């Protein structure tokens, strides 16, 4: 091995909610929230990742907590580049000082514009990569979920992240038809916040909404209507207050978001060539991303499409694993730019 040429290539799933870094030969080495805490007075970064996320809703006036990614694209360029630099450094803690800069395969939503994609690649280079290659999120998710993306057979993936839901039909190493909607996990949290505010005059934060979704959230009502105690600020008195909320109420608040995801799946199926539709009928639809963990979502999509639906083995990691595995096919991505970000007009 040429010691001076040693370089560990990376795959980065730069998500709205979380950033994961995959090192070739090692697997996922960084798994952190896409959150940065900035000191407004000095402009310095106070914390990144979990440390910054723990500050949400608890910071003094001179510190602002930023989520630099919004709906799967960069909302704050400099902060995103600084965050990526931090994570690349963290991933390469034991790297030799002689090592070359790594090539980085970075994930982008399939509905992204050329300008948005360029911003992601530029931020990746600014963060310390030698070369940056984009890979479409659903394509990465399909590889990570173990679907036969290179075969002449249709595979359907539904990747529900924090900012976007990506639906795609893949065959022969490319995206045949896809739909990217900016409705996903964050919208579920937001819907819960709005519902509790309207119904109970109670203000809760993002983190509380996320834990409600994970504990009692469901895509359709189940027989045991469990309850959960939640704390927030009473909007009438301004004082802290605790209430009990039922799973059926959370189901009601999530209805619009779930309907939008189901609609995107149906829309993609309608535009799928019949040969590939037959393959999907046989193999089923695979769900990945954090949103795939919403209770009963697979059953709702299955009922609506009359097709079998499965949740990927490691839904939270599918995109990162696929992005990392795709480093083995880097030549394919250089010669087939359409795999990186297929743009399909609605």
pLDDT in tens, 108-160: 998 889 999 999 999 999 998 889 999 999 999 999 999 999 999 999 999 99
Residue 156 and residue 242 in one domain? no
pLDDT of residue 5: 39
State the pTM of this model: 0.89
303, part of any domain:
yes
302, part of any domain:
yes
pLDDT at 6 over 50: no
Q: Is 35 left (phi over 0), alpha (psi -120 to 50) or beta?
A: beta
DSSP 295: B
Residue 248 and residue 266 in one domain? no
Residue 219 and residue 303 in one domain? no
61, part of any domain:
no
**Average pLDDT for 194-205:** 95
Q: Tell me the CATH number at 198.
A: 3.90.640.10
CA distances from 176 to 115, 269, 306, 308, 318 (A): 23, 11, 21, 20, 20
Cβ neighbours around 324 below 10 Å, total: 29
Number of domains, the chain: 2
pLDDT in tens, 79-88: 999 999 999 8
pLDDT in tens, 125-139: 999 888 999 999 999
pLDDT class of 334 with cuts at 50, 70, 90: low
Residue 246 and residue 272 in one domain? no
Of all residues in the chain, the percent with pLDDT exceeding 70 is 92
Task: State the DSSP H helix or E strand holding residue 32, giving kind and residue range, or none if neither.
Answer: strand 27-33
Cβ neighbours around 329 below 10 Å, total: 17
235, part of any domain:
yes
Among 3-17, 45-59, 213-227, the least confident range: 3-17
25, part of any domain:
no
Between CA 52 and CA 83 the distance in angstroms is 11
pLDDT of residue 328: 86
162, part of any domain:
yes
Residue 238 and residue 199 in one domain? yes
**Average pLDDT for 285-301:** 96
Q: Which of 270, 313, 311, 271 is nearest to 292 (CA)?
A: 311
Cβ neighbours around 54 below 10 Å, total: 15
Q: Tell me the CATH number at 299.
A: 3.30.420.40
Residue 241 and residue 282 in one domain? no
Domain extent for 291 = 147-183+256-316
27, part of any domain:
no
Residue 165 and residue 273 in one domain? yes
pLDDT at 346 over 80: no
224, part of any domain:
yes
Domain boundary among 233, 255, 277: 255
Residue 261 and residue 170 in one domain? yes
pLDDT in tens, 91-102: 888 766 557 788
Instruction: List, in sequence order, every beta strand (DSSP E) within 86-196.
Output: 103-108, 131-136, 155-160, 165-171, 174-181
Residue 170 and residue 260 in one domain? yes
pLDDT at 169 over 80: yes
Domain boundary among 232, 255, 278: 255
| Spatial CB neighbours of 164, under 8 Å, sequence gap ≥ 6 | 16, 71, 72, 109, 111, 137, 180, 181, 182, 183, 184
Domain boundary among 255, 282, 300: 255
Cβ neighbours around 313 below 10 Å, total: 13
Pairing of strands 131-136, 103-108: parallel
Residues 117-139 as b/e (b if ≥16 CB within 10 A, e otherwise) read bebbbebbbbbbbeebbbbbbbb
pLDDT of residue 330: 78
């Amino acid at each position: 091995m040429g010691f001076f040429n040693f370089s560990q290539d990376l795959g980065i799933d730069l998500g709205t909610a979380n950033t994961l870094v995959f090192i070739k030969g090692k697997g996922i080495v960084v798994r952190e929230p896409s959150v940065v805490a900035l000191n407004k007075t000095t402009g310095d970064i106070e914390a990144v990742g979990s440390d910054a996320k723990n500050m949400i809703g608890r910071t003094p006036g001179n510190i602002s907590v930023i989520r630099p990614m919004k709906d799967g694209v960069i909302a704050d360029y400099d902060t995103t580049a600084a965050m990526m630099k931090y994570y690349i450094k963290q991933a390469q803690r034991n790297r030799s000082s002689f090592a070359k800069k790594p090539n980085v395969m970075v994930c982008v939503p399939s509905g992204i514009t050329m300008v948005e994609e360029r911003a992601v690649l530029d931020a990746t280079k600014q963060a310390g990569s030698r070369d940056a290659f984009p890979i479409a999120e659903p394509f990465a998710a399909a590889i990570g979920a173990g679907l036969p993306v290179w075969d002449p057979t249709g595979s359907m993936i539904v990747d529900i992240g924090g900012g976007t839901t990506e639906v795609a039909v893949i065959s022969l190493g490319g995206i045949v038809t896809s739909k990217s909607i900016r409705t996903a996990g964050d919208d579920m949290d937001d819907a819960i916040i709005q519902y509790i505010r309207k119904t109970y005059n109670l203000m809760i934060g993002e983190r509380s909404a996320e834990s409600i979704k994970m504990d009692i959230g469901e895509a359709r009502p189940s027989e045991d209507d469990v309850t959960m105690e939640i704390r927030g600020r009473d909007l009438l008195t301004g004082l802290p207050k605790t209430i009990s909320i039922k799973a059926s109420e959370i189901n009601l608040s999530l209805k619009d978001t779930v309907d939008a995801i189901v609609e995107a799946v149906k829309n993609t199926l309608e535009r799928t060539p019949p040969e590939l539709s037959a393959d999907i009928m046989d193999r089923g639809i695979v769900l990945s991303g954090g949103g795939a963990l919403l209770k009963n979502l697979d059953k709702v999509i299955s009922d609506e499409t009359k097709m079998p639906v499965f949740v990927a083995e490691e839904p939270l990691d599918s995109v990162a694993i696929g992005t990392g595995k795709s480093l083995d096919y880097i030549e394919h991505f250089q010669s087939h730019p359409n795999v990186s970000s297929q743009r399909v007009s609605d």
